[in-house]
Amino acid sequence: MSAFAHDLEERLDDVVVVTLTDFGRTAAENGTAGTDHGWANCMLLLGGAVARANRAAGGERKVVADWPGLGPDQLHEGRDLLHTTDFRDVLAELVHVHLGNPNLRVVLPQHEFKPVGLVSA
């Protein structure tokens, strides 16, 4: 992602790259030393709109969430990442702020949007 951002140069202001998955993985291993589908996951965002929001927040933010940690007492049901931010709020903010589409009810019907503060116009 760093090389991609570097190659885009000033065009990075017009781009937002989002990585996400439809499910997470448990933080704790299962009985066969693997992991199961989990309750929460993480998203990575890169782009000019993300950088502007970071500057507006007073500097570079590494994690935008109420990050509880990975300790046994910090995991959901002792094994999963705790779900702290709804992915629909992140995507809705990108659609509304970065893409300029105010019709969130059409894009994400029946979802009550909560601003996340990840991107800035």
pLDDT, tens digit, 9 for 90 and up, residues 8-66: 999 998 999 999 988 888 888 889 998 899 888 888 898 888 888 877 777 766 677 77
Residue 106 lies in a domain: no
pLDDT in tens, 65-101: 777 888 888 988 888 888 888 899 999 999 999 999 9
Residue 112 lies in a domain: no
Q: Report long-range pairs for 92-101 (Cβ below 8 Å, ≥24 apart).
A: 93/117, 93/118, 93/119, 94/16, 94/18, 94/49, 94/118, 94/119, 97/49, 97/121, 98/16, 98/47, 98/49
| pTM metric for this prediction | 0.80
Number of domains in the chain: 1
Residue 118 lies in a domain: no
Average pLDDT over residues 93-119: 89
Average pLDDT over residues 91-117: 90
Range of the domain at 50: 2-82
